[in-house]
């Protein structure tokens, strides 16, 4: 069975909610829609206070090249456009909506009818995806229309679909593949046409045998689509690791997947593409996993953006009443702890993990023993101990020289360190600083 060649670790997958079917989350009385739900410039509001909006209506437009449209997930009245406090306590300009009923834009097909046929040109597909505000739903939230706009001489020859979901605890992609496999296949065919390739590979780890069988059976009816079972190996969901595992090509340092002829999209993104192109439905919701060892009802919820995180947690049984815990947005490896449960869900929200104190507590930090385990574990071939130390002493030039921007922040180094060094914390801080230096340097040219 295939996997990537460099580094990686094998944490317990803890897929507590894998057997839980997708449930539809109810509507809140009030919703807050952040204007920054993607990599790049925040969207610009195109509605004003007091305006009535319906579900699917454009409420903020992506005005830059690296930006994405935002649509209303609700019908109601715009209460105000103001800063809201995000999950990490930071201000984020947002649109506040008083939810009133559930009136949808008439152009959206809300039926369960499966729409297979499409005759759009690649350019028309990319435009519909752009209009719908679709971003990568695997975590990065990179605007999908930008990824699909391949400039010559670059050319894709394979589309790789990320169904790995290697992050422990998360199962939203698992359930989506099981319950919406046909729609996923059509979404893949649409993306294949958009980038003009005749081959697509769906990478799925072997801890999902039900999904592997289900999609393999479906792929027989769809020429050019194949399922590639993979070993369990974190972080196999990373673009470069998935490309290596599926087709054996290594993306060079600083390069993008298209440099080796590949485009990678997450399964949730493919489903959103199906809904946008075939149903005219913009990206207004997604499946979110709410889970944790002490949660009474770990579940997978179909959530409209703007729903308070507290409502999702309550749906899963509420916060534990005994002991201390940590709240994490995402999974335990790449997710980040947050403090504000009144903050809204967004395109970035793939999961909420409530970890008990026994698993969330960091052990006492000790001196580095130069064992090299962090180097062996790094899937990007970096030297985490060195990058961490350079960040501590603020040697940004040397960090850049040692390719800190290649770090995918997977946490493998932190996971393996016997001295409990906060390697990833320092590397993240340094990477952010070095990235700012690189952008400032580019603007001067």
Cα–Cα distance list, 321 to 150, 172, 294, 355 (Å): 51, 26, 9, 13
Quote the tokens at residue 326: 């940590």
Q: How far apart are CA 228 and CA 321, in angstroms?
A: 43
Quote the tokens at residue 403: 């390719």
Looking at the fold, whether 103 and 77 belong to one and the same domain comes out as yes
Residue 329: phi, psi to the nearest 5?
-85, 110
Helix (H) or strand (E) holding 423: helix 423-444
How does pLDDT run across 226-248, given as a tens digit for each residue? 999 999 999 999 999 999 999 99
Q: Averaged over 38-66, what is the pLDDT?
A: 94
How does pLDDT run across 2-18, given as a tens digit for each residue? 999 999 999 999 999 99
- Looking at residue 422, what is its pLDDT? 95
**Residue 71 placed within a domain:** yes
- DSSP string for residues in 79-126: EEEEEEE-TTS-EEEEEEEEE-S--B-TTS--S----------HHHHH
Nearest C-alpha neighbor of 98 from the set 51, 65, 61, 156? 51
Looking at the fold, whether 258 and 388 belong to one and the same domain comes out as no
Quote the tokens at residue 348: 């970035």
End residue of a domain, out of 262, 278, 294: 278
- Looking at residue 277, what is its pLDDT? 98
Cα–Cα distance list, 348 to 96, 204, 276, 341 (Å): 18, 22, 18, 15
**Residue 188 placed within a domain:** yes
- Looking at residue 36, what is its pLDDT? 94
Looking at the fold, whether 180 and 267 belong to one and the same domain comes out as yes
Q: Averaged over 291-311, what is the pLDDT?
A: 96
273, 144 Cβ separation under 8 angstroms:
yes
Looking at the fold, whether 102 and 211 belong to one and the same domain comes out as no
**Who contacts 337 (Cβ-Cβ below 8 Å, separation ≥6)?**
326, 327, 328, 329, 360
Q: CA angle, 57 as apex, 29 and 181 as ends, to 5°?
A: 90
Token pair 């961490």 is found at 388
Note the helical H segments in 202-338.
209-219, 239-247, 267-279, 309-315
CATH number at residue 334: 3.10.20.600
243, 251 Cβ separation under 8 angstroms:
yes
- Looking at residue 361, what is its pLDDT? 86
Q: Averaged over 29-53, what is the pLDDT?
A: 95
**Residue 210 placed within a domain:** yes
Count, residues in the chain: 445
**Residue 389 placed within a domain:** yes
Residue 148: phi, psi to the nearest 5?
-85, -10
| Residues spanned by the domain of 38 | 24-108+285-359
If one compares 321 and 74, the residue with the highest pLDDT of the two is 74
At residue 64 the predicted structure's pLDDT band, cuts being 50, 70 and 90, is: confident
Sheet holding 262-266, edge to edge: 225-230, 200-205, 158-162, 262-266
pLDDT over 90 at 217, yes or no: yes
Q: How far apart are CA 78 and CA 30, in angstroms?
A: 10
Looking at the fold, whether 129 and 266 belong to one and the same domain comes out as yes
Strand, coil or helix: what is 140? coil
CATH number at residue 270: 3.40.50.11540
Q: How far apart are CA 400 and CA 92, in angstroms?
A: 30
Sheet holding 336-337, edge to edge: 22-24, 299-304, 285-291, 351-356, 325-329, 336-337
Looking at the fold, whether 50 and 166 belong to one and the same domain comes out as no
Looking at the fold, whether 259 and 164 belong to one and the same domain comes out as yes
138, 349 Cβ separation under 8 angstroms:
no
**Residue 307 placed within a domain:** yes
Looking at the fold, whether 349 and 407 belong to one and the same domain comes out as no
Looking at the fold, whether 257 and 132 belong to one and the same domain comes out as yes
pLDDT over 80 at 105, yes or no: yes
Looking at the fold, whether 178 and 273 belong to one and the same domain comes out as yes
pLDDT over 80 at 128, yes or no: yes
pLDDT over 80 at 358, yes or no: yes
**Residue 367 placed within a domain:** no
Quickly count: other Cβ atoms within 10 Å of residue 138's Cβ: 23
How does pLDDT run across 384-410, given as a tens digit for each residue? 999 999 999 999 999 999 999 999 999
pLDDT over 90 at 106, yes or no: yes
Helix (H) or strand (E) holding 400: helix 396-401
Strand, coil or helix: what is 440? helix
Report the domain count for the chain: 3
Q: Averaged over 80-97, what is the pLDDT?
A: 96
pLDDT over 80 at 445, yes or no: no
Q: How far apart are CA 25 and CA 30, in angstroms?
A: 14
End residue of a domain, out of 258, 278, 298: 278
Quickly count: other Cβ atoms within 10 Å of residue 24's Cβ: 10
End residue of a domain, out of 359, 389, 407: 359
pLDDT over 90 at 31, yes or no: yes
302, 324 Cβ separation under 8 angstroms:
no
245, 2 Cβ separation under 8 angstroms:
yes
**Residue 141 placed within a domain:** yes
Looking at the fold, whether 343 and 394 belong to one and the same domain comes out as no
How does pLDDT run across 247-289, given as a tens digit for each residue? 999 999 989 999 999 999 999 999 999 999 999 999 999 999 9
**Residue 237 placed within a domain:** yes
441 burial via Cβ count (<10 Å: 0-12, 13-18, 19+): exposed
Looking at the fold, whether 256 and 329 belong to one and the same domain comes out as no
Q: What average pLDDT does the chain have?
A: 96
């Amino acid at each position: 069975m295939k996997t990537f060649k460099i580094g990686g670790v094998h944490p317990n997958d803890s897929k507590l909610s894998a057997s839980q079917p997708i449930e539809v989350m109810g509507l809140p009385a009030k919703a807050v829609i952040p204007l920054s739900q993607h990599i790049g410039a925040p969207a610009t509001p195109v509605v004003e206070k007091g305006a009535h909006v319906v579900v699917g209506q454009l409420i903020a437009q992506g005005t830059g090249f690296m930006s994405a449209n935002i649509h209303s997930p609700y019908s109601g009245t715009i209460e105000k456009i103001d800063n809201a406090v995000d999950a990490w306590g930071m201000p984020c300009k947002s649109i506040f909506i008083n939810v009133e009923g559930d009136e949808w834009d008439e152009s959206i097909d809300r039926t369960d009818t499966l729409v297979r046929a499409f005759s759009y040109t690649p350019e028309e597909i990319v435009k519909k995806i752009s209009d719908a505000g679709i971003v990568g739903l695997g975590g990065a939230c990179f605007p999908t229309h930008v990824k699909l706009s391949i400039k010559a001489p670059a050319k894709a020859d394979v589309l790789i679909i990320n169904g790995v979901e290697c992050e422990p605890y998360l199962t939203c992609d698992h359930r989506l593949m099981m319950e919406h496999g046909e729609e996923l296949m059509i979404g893949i065919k649409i993306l294949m046409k958009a980038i003009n390739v005749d081959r697509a590979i769906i990478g799925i780890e072997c801890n999902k045998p039900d999904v592997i069988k289900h999609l393999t059976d479906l792929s027989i009816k769809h020429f050019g689509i194949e399922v590639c079972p993979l070993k369990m190996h974190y972080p196999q969901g990373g673009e470069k690791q998935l490309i290596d595992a599926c087709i054996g090509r290594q993306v060079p340092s600083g390069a993008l997947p298209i440099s080796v002829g590949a485009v990678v999209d997450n399964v949730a993104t493919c489903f959103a593409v199906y809904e946008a192109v075939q149903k005219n439905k913009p990206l207004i919701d997604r499946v979110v996993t709410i889970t944790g060892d002490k949660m009474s009802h770990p579940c997978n919820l179909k959530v409209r953006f703007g729903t308070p995180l507290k409502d999702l947690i309550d749906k899963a049984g509420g916060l534990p009443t005994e002991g201390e815990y940590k709240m994490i947005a995402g999974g335990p490896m790449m997710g980040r702890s947050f403090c504000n449960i009144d903050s809204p869900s967004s395109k970035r929200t793939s999961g909420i993990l409530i970890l008990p104190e026994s698993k969330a507590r960091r052990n006492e930090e000790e001196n580095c023993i130069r064992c090299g385990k962090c180097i062996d574990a790094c899937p990007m071939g970096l030297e985490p101990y060195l990058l961490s130390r350079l960040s501590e002493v603020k040697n940004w030039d040397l960090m850049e020289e040692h390719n800190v921007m290649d770090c995918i922040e997977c946490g493998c180094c932190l996971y393996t360190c016997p001295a409990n060094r906060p390697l990833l914390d320092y590397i993240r801080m340094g990477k952010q600083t070095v990235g700012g230096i690189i952008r400032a340097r580019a603007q001067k040219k």
